[in-house]
């Protein structure tokens, strides 16, 4: 989908046209751009490109749903107008999905770049399907521009982007998708995900966070018994585990109690998915998250030792990983 994307659009389009896998249709939905985006799109004569020009500006979510409706391929891949797919992205994702019929949605890790195309950071995403499912209860488990989905699952279950969300519509869709199929992420970064001062993740950070928290609450309510979390506990839970950098003024509640509840939910999750015990990284991540929630921000929460002891029972290796996290956090 394209709306006034002239600054990065050409590089984005060419990253798809230059894929090592060539058998695809390339849908570009121009949402009434008022800059030079339309001439840029029209300058390409590749027969794989199919341009749809909206008669009126529909917005991102409705334009995305139009793409879901029009796509004809067995697999449906996504990319934003300012991001770049590495040349072997489609080939690698198709090969994985061909070899793993139980996976219905596949994302990848990503390189974060700035407006000048310079490397900023590496964005990892949970790889194993159970890590994806657990992560989806708290945050978006996929980098939206990296995903590839099985079109038949979307159609069979009438899945679309939820129009009530303007910035986190992808996260809401994944939560629904994962009810009908499994998801995974390739560890290899196959996209360059651009962060700059014009995209929504930068300019609408507060709205993005608010929508993501609402979706997480809904996911938790649907996955776990309603009596496990009161509305107040759910609010505190999301405040502690969903916000990336919580402020101490926002955490005036018993953090140790909520952290223990987090571990209780994980125990219930593992009871439902016994095979999760074979995924050390899932246990390690959960243990570290519980411990981190009671030691930051300072002061350390009363009752933190109970949380540490419970976390060690899940994964004793945090005795090694936690000091490394402390060093990394301080540096």
pLDDT > 70: percent of the chain: 91
Q: How far is residue 305 from each of residues 29, 276, 285, 311, measured CA to CA in Å?
A: 54, 26, 18, 10
Report how far residue 104's alpha carbon sits from residue 76's, in angstroms, rounded to the nearest whole number: 11
- Supply the angle between the helices 231-241 and 255-272 in degrees, to the nearest 10: 90
The reported pLDDT for the residue numbered 251 is 65
Would you say residue 60 has pLDDT above 60? yes
Which tokens hold the place of 137? Answer: 């209860």
Asked if 243 contacts 212 with a C-beta cutoff of 8 angstroms, the reply is no
Per residue, the 3-state secondary structure of 73-114, as one string, reads: CCEEECCCCCCEECCCHHHHHHHHHHHCCCEEEEEEEEEEEC
Report how far residue 75's alpha carbon sits from residue 89's, in angstroms, rounded to the nearest whole number: 13
Mean of per-residue pLDDT scores for the chain:
88
pLDDT in tens, 257-298: 989 989 999 999 999 998 888 888 899 889 888 988 888 777
Report the pLDDT averaged over residues 4-9: 93
E strands, the chain, in order: 26-30, 49-53, 75-77, 84-85, 103-113, 119-123, 148-150, 182-194
Report which listed range, 4-18, 230-244, 306-320, is most confident: 4-18
pLDDT in tens, 239-262: 787 754 444 445 677 889 989 989
Would you say residue 331 has pLDDT above 60? no
* 203 pLDDT tier (thresholds 50, 70, 90): low
Asked if 78 contacts 159 with a C-beta cutoff of 8 angstroms, the reply is no
């Amino acid at each position: 989908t394209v709306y006034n994307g002239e600054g990065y659009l050409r590089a984005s389009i060419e990253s798809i046209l230059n894929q090592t896998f060539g058998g695809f249709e390339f849908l570009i939905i121009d949402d009434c751009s008022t800059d030079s985006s339309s001439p840029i799109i029209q300058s390409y004569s590749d027969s794989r490109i199919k341009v749809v020009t909206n008669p009126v500006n529909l917005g991102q979510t409705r334009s995305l749903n139009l793409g879901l409706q029009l796509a004809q391929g067995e697999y449906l891949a996504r990319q934003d107008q300012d991001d770049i797919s590495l040349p072997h992205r489609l080939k690698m994702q198709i090969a994985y999905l061909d070899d793993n019929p139980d996976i219905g949605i596949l994302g990848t890790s990503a390189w974060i770049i700035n407006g000048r195309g310079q490397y900023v950071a590496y964005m990892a995403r949970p790889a194993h399907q159970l890590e994806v499912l657990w992560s989806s209860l708290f945050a978006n488990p996929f980098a939206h521009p990296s995903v590839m989905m099985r079109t038949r699952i979307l159609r069979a279950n009438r899945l679309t982007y939820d129009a009530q969300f303007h910035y986190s519509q992808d996260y809401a869709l994944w939560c629904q998708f994962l009810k009908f199929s499994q998801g995974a992420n390739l560890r290899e970064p196959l996209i360059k995900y651009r962060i700059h001062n014009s995209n929504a993740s930068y300019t609408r950070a507060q709205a993005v966070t608010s929508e993501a928290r609402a979706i997480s609450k809904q996911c938790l309510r649907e996955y776990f018994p309603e009596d496990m979390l009161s509305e107040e506990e759910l609010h505190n839970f999301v405040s502690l585990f969903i916000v990336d950098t919580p402020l101490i003024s926002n955490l005036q509640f018993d953090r140790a109690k909520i952290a223990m509840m987090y571990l209780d939910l994980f125990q219930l999750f593992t009871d439902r998915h016994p095979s999760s015990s074979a995924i050390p990284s899932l246990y390690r991540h959960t243990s570290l998250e519980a411990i981190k929630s009671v030691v930051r921000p300072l002061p350390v929460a009363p009752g933190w030792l109970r949380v540490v002891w419970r976390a060690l029972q899940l994964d004793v290796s945090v005795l090694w990983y936690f000091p490394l996290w402390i060093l990394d956090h301080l540096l």
